[in-house]
Structure 1
Amino acid sequence: MIFQNIIFDLDGTIIDSFPGIEQAYQQALLHVLPDRIVPDIKNLIGPPIHKIFALSLQLDDEVILAELVREFKIAYDTICWKNTLVYEGVINTLEQLKKRNIIYLL
């Protein structure tokens, strides 16, 4: 069987968005709860950011969680997304697939 399509999961496969997520998390926490110590969230990446805040801060106050999420989104969408990294070898792999007409890059 010959497949005609290749589907890539972007986050965690082609790119590492953790640096931007971590920075936006820190900025949101500093803005909303400036006296809180910033916990390590590396092992919590995956669930929605609301859950990451709740778990990492052991917090169940929905008003504060909503404010943290709002501040996170502002920070990530305006600046922190720029800290996203492309994994080593990805660009070369995509270029090779394009040369073989296996994928099309826009």
Structure 2
Amino acid sequence: MMPYFENIIFDLDGTLSDSRSGIINSYVEALKTLGHTPDASFDFSHVIGPPVREVMEGLLGHFGDTRISEGIAAHWAHYENVGIVQNALYHGIKAMIDALSSQGRRLYIATAKRQSLAAHVLKNLDILDRFAGVYGSGDDGSLEHKSDLIAHLLHVESLESETTVMIGDRSHDIVGAHANKICGIGVTWGYGSADELRCANPDHIVSSPAALYRILGTGSSSRTLAGKIIAAATRDEFSQAL
């Protein structure tokens, strides 16, 4: 049985919300701004989650272009004006967040997205007030790497590792958690594959918000609590794992 986690850190993109189109479109527009037009076979499957600089280096490297800073600026310019609203919560996430919040859990966000933009996204999704803290990268590119960001969050919030968990859909979420000696749980409904997550040796892998809710330290009472969520939300949100 997993321990009872008082502090729950969530990744954002691919974990709480489906932001695929907004993020990918922003990278496409950034490439076009620099004079590159990717064809239909161009692979964008890896761009959601890693640091923006790392992604841009890879994308522009395909074209032999070294204008990384210009590409990053173009990406953020499009995302701030268009991509940020191309976002929606995954089915069942709202009910899970509400249930955890009502129990007095302290919820946090740790995302490679710029911190100011992450807060804006959460506000648009109507869940910003559920979180005790929102942590993201700086406008200067600082804290882009998940291990550094989690370390910063743990330090600022004075969180104990034994009662803290990191939840995300990509391997770097799990690697970052373990680098900071906290539990890491992988979710398969996002942008990382189950194989990618398994290679990072997560403490647990889950395939639905209901399954995640059941292992977040609720112990033997988890089915009763999940049942209350179903009554408060729609009947099918948590049906897969109950």
The alignment's TM-score, normalised by the length of structure 1, stands at: 0.74
Of residues 83, 92, 98, the one that matches 1:80 is 83
Alignment length (residue pairs) = 104
How has the CA–CA distance of structure 1 residues 48 and 9 changed in structure 2, closer, same or farther, with 3 Å as cutoff? closer
- CA drift at 1:59: 4.1
Matched with 1:37 is 38
How has the CA–CA distance of structure 1 residues 10 and 26 changed in structure 2, closer, same or farther, with 3 Å as cutoff? same
Distance 1:88 1:99 in 2: 19
Matched with 1:105 is 130
| Residue correspondence of structure 1 range 1-106 to structure 2 within 5 A | 2-34=4-36, 36-38=37-39, 39-57=42-60, 58-62=62-66, 64-102=67-105, 105=130
- CA drift at 1:75: 0.6
CA contact (8 A) 2:13 2:49 kept: no
The alignment's TM-score, normalised by the length of structure 2, stands at: 0.37
Aligned-residue RMSD, C-alpha: 2.5
Q: Which has the higher helix share?
A: 1
Distance 1:44 1:2 in 2: 33
Q: Which has the higher strand share?
A: 2
Segments of structure 1 that go 5 or more residues without pairing to the other structure are none
Amino acid at match of 2:19: S
CA contact (8 A) 1:15 1:85 kept: yes
Q: After the TM superposition, which of the residue ranges 13-22 and 71-80 deviates more from structure 2?
A: 13-22
Percent identity of paired positions between Structure 1 and Structure 2: 28
CA contact (8 A) 1:16 1:87 kept: yes
Matched with 2:190 is none
Distance 1:3 1:78 in 2: 37
CA contact (8 A) 2:28 2:38 kept: no
Matched with 2:163 is none
Distance 1:52 1:10 in 2: 17
- CA drift at 1:85: 2.3
- CA drift at 1:30: 1.8
- CA drift at 1:60: 4.7
Relative contact order, CA 8 A, sep 6+: which one is greater? 1
CA deviations on 1:21-58 (whole Å, 9 max, x unpaired) are 11111111222215x32423113433323332332342
